[in-house]
Amino acid sequence: MSSIIFLTTKKRIAYFVNTGKATTYCIANNKMKLTSRHITLFLLTGLLVLLSFARKEDPRYRFVIPKGWPKPTYDFKRNKVSEAGFELGRTLFNDPILSKDNSISCASCHLNFTAFTHADHNVSHGIYGLKGTRNSLALFNLAWNKTFMWDGRVTDLEGQPTNPITNRVEMDNSMDSVVAKLNRSGNYRKLFYTAFKDSVITPKTLLKSLAQFTVMLESFNSKYDSVIRSEPGVAFTENELKGYNLFKQHCASCHTEPLFTNNAFKNNGLLVDTALRDFGRMSITHQASDSLLFRVPSLRNIGVSGPYMHDGRFGRLKDVVEHYTSGTIKSPTLSHELENEIRLSTQDKKDLISFLNTLTDKYFLYDVRFRSTNPY
């Protein structure tokens, strides 16, 4: 069977005729035989020209797996990040339209300058000025999370926003109501069409868009990371290095590098708040063995993400270190890592905090991609 490929110029038409036995290059009525090598080179040249015009992937919307890090648990094949999806997710994250009275957005409790948590009160404040029962977790490196929330009640990043949206003291809304409001917005219908090729907004596309934004909240450019990568001109100070060694000795079993969490649930020896009476994971599993177990949070950006603990009881890192060296409460479910006393001198404590501050990632905190207004 013969195949013909036409190539046009301003003055003539040139074409290849492939009969399966020989290939002939024709210009007007004159014919000349060419070797397959000529044909191959010609086609490769054309392909390179076409590729040069192809749109390159925008690095701002490319998920990065740092060298030496484990494989993420998030399934990107199920919800591939796109520019339109990310920007839509960012818009929704900062829009109070998700709350019942349009007063509370995700960003109300998750501010980018504090590693996407709040900083001005112990527990989250929601709709109508109501107070929640827990300190909001910082948001970053979520693609590696196996569970979400302090008690692990959510196992999927895309499903996580349904909890604050429907919580009575957070946004006090329903998914149906949120979707109905969004569908009444001509602007949002356009944005959803651009992202998902469908202007009819559904709970599924709403959650997918939010996940495309939050999964991109990556933090891996702290001073610690630069030192580990042996970048020129970057090194720990003497105090930071001593603190790092103390960290590896006393903290790393739960706050495992490079994520600085092991994604487990632990009882870290806190006395139960008599007002909140929060028993952690046991409220989900109803197992006594899970009493007072809470998620082990990442220590990345810990220097800027206070207050600390699930109920925000400690306002300073100094208070946290003091708790682990002299304030843990013995109980049947206490983490075995805390069964033996941790002894640190006053200088040791200062050195440990010096190291913890090297985990602050200013590139992440001030990344314009994550701000509420669109700078592009």
pLDDT tens sequence across 26-80: 444 444 455 566 556 656 655 554 444 445 678 889 999 999 999 999 999 999 9
Global confidence as pTM = 0.84
CA 310 – CA 134 distance, rounded (Å): 6
- pLDDT 10s digits, 239-267: 999 999 999 999 999 999 999 999 999 99
Query: Which of the listed CATH numbers 3.30.70.360, 3.90.1150.10, 3.40.50.620, 1.10.760.10 matches domain 223-360?
Result: 1.10.760.10
Residue 308, CB half-sphere, CA atoms under 13 Å: how many? 22
> Do the beta carbons of residue 6 and residue 13 sit within 8 Å?
yes
Q: Where does the pLDDT of residue 375 fall: very low under 50, low under 70, confident under 90, or very high at 90 and above? A: very low
* pLDDT given for residue 78 in this prediction: 95
Does 199 score more than 90 pLDDT? Answer: yes
Both tokens of 347, joined, read 């200088």
Q: What is the pLDDT of residue 26?
A: 41
pLDDT in tens, 292-304: 999 999 999 999 9
Q: Are 147 and 295 in contact (CB under 8 A)?
A: yes
Fold of 83-218: Cytochrome Bc1 Complex; Chain D, domain 2 (1.10.760)
117, HSE (Cβ side, Cα atoms, 13 Å): 28
pLDDT reported for residue 116: 97
Tokens encoding 160: 């996580």
- 152 contacts 224 by C-beta, under 8 angstroms: no
Q: Which helix (H) or strand (E) holds 8?
A: strand 3-8
Buried b (16+ CB within 10 A) or exposed e, 130-168: eebebbbbbbbbbbbbebbbbbbebebbbebbbebbbbe
Question: Is cis: bond before 59, omega within 30 of 0?
Answer: no
Q: What is the pLDDT of residues 94-146, one digit of tens each?
A: 999 999 999 999 999 999 999 999 988 999 999 999 999 999 999 999 999 99
What sign does the CA torsion over 279, 281, 284, 288 have?
Answer: negative
Task: Identify the pLDDT of residue 36.
Answer: 61
Q: How far is CA 124 from the centre of its chain?
A: 20
Mean pLDDT in residue range 228-243: 98
Task: Report the mean per-residue pLDDT for the chain.
Answer: 88
Q: What are residue 207's phi and psi, to 5 degrees?
A: -70, -35
Statement: residue 214 has pLDDT above 90: yes
Same topology for domains 83-218 and 223-360, yes or no?
Answer: yes
State the pLDDT confidence band at 10, using cuts at 50, 70 and 90: very low
The pLDDT score that the predictor gives to residue 17 is: 40
Alpha-carbon distance 225 to 243, whole Å? 15
- Domains of the chain by residue range: 3-53, 83-218, 223-360
Nearest to 109 by CA among 96, 100, 213: 96
CA distances from 13 to 2, 16, 301 (A): 18, 10, 64
